């Protein structure tokens, strides 16, 4: 079986080790890197992240990683954003003032306070697939449980980009997006037990096939 190389983009925003370990367990050869040449040569690219929006995009820009990310996406290779790595693909965030990468039109919004919900939204919630044919979902049961930690959620301009939703209190929000070769999720697959490993396995297989 051929080796699958996956570049995990390092921009000092956390969960690199757990994302790397999850992909390794799924059969890939991950490399944590901020080297544009490594990103360009990889079979697939993962943009992870935990933390705040403004420092994240500042770090990406200071490390000159914005163009390598856009080039990787433009190349057609499979691209997976995780948590903050989903949010920074958008135009802007209510969390900060920095512009996002503007790859997916839309805004990152804060959960509205209401009775009996906690912010951040932290713990296990079910997904409702709005794009059931996304490659990441192919090994999953209907309405799987996954692990979230977030106070903000993405609100894409084009609602057809949403690939899954979840509900927190009375608020139903986008939990994942998919467009062409881009897949990005608000939850943490690497912390989502068997379902999360199956998603990462599906991503690795997509990279192995070289689907464009």
Catalytic residue among 190, 195, 205, 207: 190
HEC sequence for the chain:
CCCCEEEEECCCCCCHHHHHHHHHHCCCEEEEECCHHHHHHCCEEEECCCCCHHHHHHHHHHCCCHHHHHHHHHHCCCEEEECHHHHCCEEEECCCCCCCCCCEEEEEEECCCCCCCCCCEEEEEECEECCCCCHHHCCCCCCCEEEEEECEEEEECCHHHEEEEEEECCEEEEEEEEECCEEEECCCHHHCHHHHHHHHHHHHHHHHHCCC
Residue 190 bears catalytic tag: yes
Residue 188 bears catalytic tag: yes
* C-alpha–C-alpha distance, residues 89 and 66, integer Å: 10
Catalytic residue among 59, 83, 121, 168: 83
Can you give the length of the chain in residues? 212
Catalytic residue among 59, 168, 188, 205: 188
Active-site amino acid positions = 83, 188, 190
């Amino acid at each position: 079986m051929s080796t699958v190389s996956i570049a995990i983009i390092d921009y000092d925003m956390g969960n690199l080790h757990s994302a790397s370990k999850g992909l390794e367990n799924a059969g890939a050869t991950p490399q944590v890197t901020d080297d544009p040449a490594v990103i360009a040569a990889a079979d697939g690219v993962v943009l992870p992240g935990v933390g705040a929006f403004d420092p994240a995009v500042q770090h990406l820009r200071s490390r000159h990683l914005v163009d390598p990310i856009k080039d990787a996406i433009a190349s057609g290779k499979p691209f997976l954003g995780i948590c903050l790595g989903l949010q920074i693909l958008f135009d802007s965030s209510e969390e900060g003032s920095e512009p996002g990468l503007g790859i997916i039109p839309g805004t990152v919004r804060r959960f509205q306070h209401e009775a009996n919900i906690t912010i951040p939204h932290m713990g296990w919630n079910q997904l409702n697939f709005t794009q059931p044919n996304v490659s990441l979902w192919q090994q999953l049961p209907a309405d799987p449980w996954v692990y979230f930690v977030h106070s903000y959620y993405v609100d894409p301009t084009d609602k057809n980009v949403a690939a899954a939703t979840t509900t927190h209190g009375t608020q139903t929000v986008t939990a994942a997006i998919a467009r062409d070769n881009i897949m990005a999720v608000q939850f943490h697959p690497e912390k989502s037990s068997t379902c999360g490993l199956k998603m990462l396995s599906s991503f690795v297989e997509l990279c192995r096939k070289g689907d464009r």
